[in-house]
Structure 1
Amino acid sequence: MMTAKQNTALVEEFFDRYRGHDVQGMAELCSINADFSYPPFELWGKQRVLRGDGKVGTVGKAIWAGLINSFPDLTNVVHSVTANDDGDVVAQIGISGTQRSPWGYVLPQGKTYDEPHLFIFRIGEDGLIASVTAYWNNGAISRQLGHLEVD
């Protein structure tokens, strides 16, 4: 098991790589079968709903790459990281970017969003990230991007 200090450093490295748009590098910090959950993420289609739940290597990498493609200046600010010796890590992160191409159903208007995110990580015994979960206010991001949707 890693110490709280090592767990903190691992998560900080994850966000350094995210800031550098290194999706493969982010995934390399995760175990091969790491869980991925972004509960606010949903894309509704005519016959299916895509949700942000699955594995880092499949769903996670695709979402991260899509965000970076749609928001080429995507960045993050690490406000706090709290960890323990049991592998639990919570990070308060600010994520922002200017939309340059479509993101789901949100068409680009050249607008920027800046929204706090809460990330919860679980570090495995192998010293890699075993799960990533994140929460944010999807409605606030849509509003900032000028996307007002009515069901």
Structure 2
Amino acid sequence: MITTESRPTAAASEALVRAFFDAYRRQDVDTMTDLCSDNADFSYVPYEVWGKQRVLRGDGKVKTVGKTIWTGLVNSFPDLTNTVHTVDANDAGDVVVTCDIGGTQQLAWGLAEPRGKGFSEPHLFVFHVDDAGEIDRISAYWDGAGINRQLGHLEVD
């Protein structure tokens, strides 16, 4: 957490988001959520899990939906990691990150049965850092079909 009286600089926002990805690489979900405000918004745009009577989507709050998704990912992919390629920040608190996220599946993830296959897929993250120096919004985008193909999970309607 950044402790300043004024809006964090672009450099401070970038450092905060890099700390988030360092925690993600260590699979430290508690630290990932601690870097976020209590009411931080969360949107994993391509995330959907279809059930018999409902569809779960990756939209909500970091400390509820986000933490649950991250914990599930770490459990299903015990070697889950990320490689950050670019981090672009501005003085308005916007931070955009391109990275690859990947791992080897050991437990079921959504509807994908574990086959011991791995994935590595480019991701785009858009963060916002608030005036208190905490992440108050996370959105992420990726090709879910690409991940499913790599894991050997093909859905047919």
Task: Determine if the TM-score, normalized by the shorter chain, exceeds 0.5.
Answer: yes
For 1:95, which of 94, 101, 116 is the aligned residue? 101
Identity of aligned residues (%): 62
Trace 1:21-36 onto structure 2 (pairs within 5 A): 21-36=27-42
* Residues 1:19 and 2:25 are matched in the alignment: yes
The one-letter amino acid paired with 2:81 is T
The one-letter amino acid paired with 1:101 is L
Aligned to 1:71: 77
Aligned to 2:134: 128
Q: What TM-score, normalized by structure 2, do the two folds share?
A: 0.96
Deviations along 1:20-43, one digit per CA (max 9) or x if unpaired, are: 010010000000000000010000
Trace 1:34-113 onto structure 2 (pairs within 5 A): 34-113=40-119
> What is the SS of the residue equivalent to 1:110?
coil
2:118 and 2:51 mapped to 1: Cα distance?
Answer: 25
Shift of 1:13: 0.2
In structure 1, stretches of 5+ residues that fail to align are none
1:48 and 1:110 mapped to 2: Cα distance?
Answer: 28
2:124 and 2:95 mapped to 1: Cα distance?
Answer: 11
Shift of 1:3: 0.6
2:154 and 2:32 mapped to 1: Cα distance?
Answer: 32
In structure 2, stretches of 5+ residues that fail to align are 1-6
Shift of 1:56: 0.3
Aligned to 2:4: none
The number of residues matched between the two structures is: 151
Shift of 1:146: 0.2
